Amino acid sequence: MSEHNLSGKKVAFLLTDGVEQVELTSPWDAVKEAGGVPTLVSPKSGELQGYDGTEKGQRFAVDLAVGRADAADFHALVIPGGVVNADHLRVDKEAQAFTRAFFEQHKPVAAICHGPWLLIDAGVVSGRNLTSYHTLQTDLKNAGAIWTDEEVVVDQGLVTSRSPRDLPAFNAKLVEEIAEGEHAGQTP
């Protein structure tokens, strides 16, 4: 059981087809274990396809369309990775606006692996300390981020990690940041 209590806190998980499923299921379970209420938000309706590396994995039911989602209804946002997932989300205007709203409201945001690609297109990485899957470092640096190769980086409510091997540290920090609540320095 987590040392941090998320009882009653609603956490949006933003993803679409091609998500690296362990980067969804592991943080989802960590949020639930701490008493939080996860909600799957997506540009797609119905179900989406998860992947375990390059192999098809589980299918996941979408709870809420991103176009109908309001960041004001949630305490935090989690953006799982997966190349295909992240590549589709980063160009989705509603996903960008939903993500940016969490920063505008100073709420915790956690992104892992390829998830930070969406942060670039949401316009929220300039001057921020973060990490990601190593192939994104040039994109993030070009967008003004301060990128480092560490298992987890926390910057004023923004939690980032590199890959599934970092999930224990990622999960611990995302739960801690959600428990702490809003961060004045969490801005776009």
**How many CA atoms lie less than 13 Å away from 118 in the CB half-sphere?**
35
The CATH number covering residue 135 comes to: 3.40.50.880
Residue 180 in this model has a pLDDT that exceeds 50: yes
What share of the chain in percent tops pLDDT 90?
A: 96
* Residue 168: inside a domain: yes
* Residue 188: inside a domain: no
- What the block records as the tokens of 99 is 């993500």
* Residue 116: inside a domain: yes
Q: What is the mean pLDDT of the segment spanning 14-41? A: 98
Say which of 4, 75, 88, 113 is annotated catalytic.
Answer: 113
Could you confirm whether 88 is annotated as catalytic?
no
Q: What is the mean pLDDT of the segment spanning 162-176? A: 98
Report the C-alpha gap between 34 and 68 in whole angstroms: 26
What share of the chain in percent tops pLDDT 70?
A: 99
What is the number of structural domains in the chain? 1
* Residue 18: inside a domain: yes
Decide: 147 and 176 in contact? Cβ < 8 Å: no
- What the block records as the tokens of 102 is 């969490």
Residues 6+ apart with CB under 8 A from 143: 120, 125, 126
pLDDT confidence bin for 188, thresholds 50/70/90: confident
What's at 23, amino acid-wise?
E
Structural domain of 95: 10-180
* Residue 25: inside a domain: yes
Say which of 4, 114, 134, 183 is annotated catalytic.
Answer: 114
* Residue 5: inside a domain: no
* Residue 1: inside a domain: no
* Residue 186: inside a domain: no
Could you confirm whether 113 is annotated as catalytic?
yes
Residue 1 in this model has a pLDDT that exceeds 90: no
| 73: exposed, middle or buried (Cβ count in 10 Å: 0-12, 13-18, 19+) | exposed
**Residue 2: its pLDDT value, please?**
61
